Amino acid sequence: MSAAALHDLTLAQQGAALASGQTTSVALTQHALDRVAAHAALGAFLHVDAAGALAAAAASDARRAAGQPLGPLDGVPIAHKDIFVTQGQPTTAASKMLAGYRSPFDATVVAQLQAAGVVSLGKLNCDEFAMGGANENSAYSVARNPWDTSRIPGGSSGGSAVAVAARLVAGTTGTDTGGSIRQPAALCGITGIKPTYGRCSRYGMIAFASSLDQAGPMARSAEDCALLLDAMSGFDPRDATSAETVQLHDGSPAANQPGVIGKDLAALKLAADLADAARPLAGLRVGVPKEFFGEGVSADVLAATRAALGQLQQLGATLVDVSLPRTELSIPVYYIIAPAEASSNLSRYDGVKFGHRAAKYSDLNDMYRKTRAEGFGPEVKRRIMIGTYVLSHGYYDAYYLQAQKLRRMIADDFQAAFQVCDVIAGPVSPTVARAIGSSTDPVQDYLADIFTLPASLAGLPGMSVPCGFGEHGMPAGLQLIGNYWQEARLLHMAQAFQQVTDWHQRAPATLA
């Protein structure tokens, strides 16, 4: 195969090319490494492990040569968000606090993907401790949107989105606490899915807000996201909120383990093809929440989203008006709960057990103070202070407790909507990607999370699917939100959409 074609292949196509002997894992990996080096200015990677990747690729080729039965991802190069701890590669969470940190173990998600045979090229840039929506909070480097390098890629999984959109690798891992998979996927024109809370293990995923954090895949197509998610997901006894049992699309129970989503998706596809192959979404009720289409959404994003809804109708879906009346409240609720949990989770970075420690200090308190002042960036400090405040005596009831109650009501609103629809659709981000450095006020950025926060607070699966381009030729994403465990349903819908649209196949012209 010609070298130029390799980076255009999806994960599924790379897997097929490997299976048929058209290419080798070493060839794919070397090509990806060359491309990562050529496009280093995009700032996608914080660490590249060329030697480790080539060794893993050679091992995959050897497995194949020995005739071992291999899964579809064996030998395919990917990369991990630097929020997942990795034994063989440094882990920083894009924070100075963890400069030089080496984990003694692999995150479960990393280990599961490794068991599926993937080759990890290295660690991807992100916002510090996954706090942010622009990748501007990375302590190490600016990440640039491949569609216009003067613009943000979104965040916090910005590097994960850049690497896929620039076709450095065909798939990456990300994490989503309040939108960090969906929003950068939308802003970079790629596909990403945040699973139901509890589907993927949080073990070894550096904690931000533990009641919200979820891992998920980012790739160009829904088909590739399905392959990755299928390998990443599963019950893990080392994560106290990991789910032992999930549901299939018809509501029947199944053990949470790798392979479940793939089988469920295959069953859905078969049923749809048998019923009416031309209208694979026949019978599906798509809820359109009026709060997602009101003021605050820019005209270009609205137009792209509406056009996508029309496409879903042509595929057989019925649109149903629904309401998520507490959508606006999700912003204050999230920006109380997430910092509260963060302030607690980040108390472990005390200069004693992990990472950075100030060089000079007079006593223990002074050591803590200087270590944390030096190690954390401004946004992380802001959130630790907000979190500490809302949890403090005298304020707890007014803020944290109140937010918890509203969180429950936001989840109830979704259940009311799901009485009349199967899936909810709307925009991911109210605008396309803004210019790097153009934000003057953190609250302005918090407001842009309005459409991703509700599903996070409810623990529901949410997906971003490329649905067109808006102002400045920048990509927009369609968000699909399912009820609990309906990931296969979302992936099936997205696949059907991607069979009749080519937004996900477009690539930035400057990066041929």
CB of 178 to ligand GLN, least distance (A): 3
Any idea which residue has 């690497």 for tokens?
A: 163
Look up residue 209 and give its DSSP letter: S
Asked if residue 179 binds ligand GLN (CB under 6 A), the reply is yes
Please count the other Cβ atoms lying within 10 Å of the Cβ belonging to residue 361.
15
What amino acid positions are annotated as catalytic residues? 81, 156, 180
The stretch among 24-32, 63-71, 112-120, 131-139 that binds ligand GLN (CB under 6 A) is: 131-139
- Mapped onto helix, strand or coil, the DSSP state of residue 117 is coil
| Sign (positive or negative) of CA dihedral 375, 377, 378, 379 | negative
Chain positions 205 to 264 lying near ligand GLN, rule: CB under 6 A, are 208
The stretch among 130-138, 246-254, 290-298, 487-495 that binds ligand GLN (CB under 6 A) is: 130-138
Rounded CA-CA distance 349/371 in Å is 8
What is the number of alpha carbons within 13 Å of residue 161 lying toward its C-beta? 41
Nearer to ligand GLN, 174 or 189 (CB): 174
Asked if residue 23 binds ligand GLN (CB under 6 A), the reply is no
Asked if residue 185 binds ligand GLN (CB under 6 A), the reply is no
Please count the other Cβ atoms lying within 10 Å of the Cβ belonging to residue 415.
12
List the one residue from 27, 124, 142, 338 that touches ligand GLN (CB under 6 A): 338
**Residue 187: closest CA among 179, 195, 176, 178:** 179
CB of 446 to ligand GLN, least distance (A): 7
CB of 367 to ligand GLN, least distance (A): 29
Rounded CA-CA distance 222/106 in Å is 26
CB of 206 to ligand GLN, least distance (A): 11
Nearer to ligand GLN, 265 or 457 (CB): 457
Nearer to ligand GLN, 133 or 482 (CB): 133
Read off the tokens for 281. Answer: 């979404």
List the one residue from 6, 76, 131, 480 that touches ligand GLN (CB under 6 A): 131
The stretch among 51-59, 172-180, 369-377, 484-492 that binds ligand GLN (CB under 6 A) is: 172-180
The stretch among 17-25, 126-134, 345-353, 410-418 that binds ligand GLN (CB under 6 A) is: 126-134
Cβ contacts of 415-419, under 8 Å, gap ≥ 24: 415/483, 417/287, 417/289, 417/322, 417/323, 417/324, 418/287, 418/483
Nearer to ligand GLN, 83 or 219 (CB): 83
The stretch among 175-183, 290-298, 460-468, 499-507 that binds ligand GLN (CB under 6 A) is: 175-183
Chain positions 269 to 308 lying near ligand GLN, rule: CB under 6 A, are none
Asked if residue 176 binds ligand GLN (CB under 6 A), the reply is yes
Q: Please list, in sequence order, all residues whose beta carbon lies within 8 angstroms of the beta carbon of residue 21, skipping any fewer than 6 positions away.
A: none
Residue type, 53: A
Decide if 232 contacts 217 (C-beta within 8 A): yes
List the one residue from 178, 462, 468, 482 that touches ligand GLN (CB under 6 A): 178
Q: Which residue is nearest to ligand GLN (CB)?
A: 180
How much is the CA Rg of the chain, to the nearest whole Å? Answer: 22
345 membership: H or E segment, kind and range: helix 330-345
Nearer to ligand GLN, 15 or 377 (CB): 377
Q: Count residues near ligand GLN (CB under 6 A).
A: 13
List the one residue from 23, 125, 177, 498 that touches ligand GLN (CB under 6 A): 177
CB of 208 to ligand GLN, least distance (A): 6
- DSSP per-residue codes, 26-51: HHHHHHHHHHHHHTGGG--EEEE-HH
Decide if 186 contacts 476 (C-beta within 8 A): yes
Chain positions 445 to 474 lying near ligand GLN, rule: CB under 6 A, are 449
Report H helices in 79-178: 108-115, 158-165
The stretch among 10-18, 47-55, 125-133, 142-150 that binds ligand GLN (CB under 6 A) is: 125-133
Rounded CA-CA distance 241/222 in Å is 26
CB of 204 to ligand GLN, least distance (A): 16
Read off the tokens for 470. Answer: 């808006």
Decide if 220 contacts 189 (C-beta within 8 A): no
Asked if residue 375 binds ligand GLN (CB under 6 A), the reply is no
Residue type, 114: Q
Question: Which residues bind to ligand GLN, rule: CB under 6 A?
Answer: 130-133, 156, 176-180, 208, 338, 449
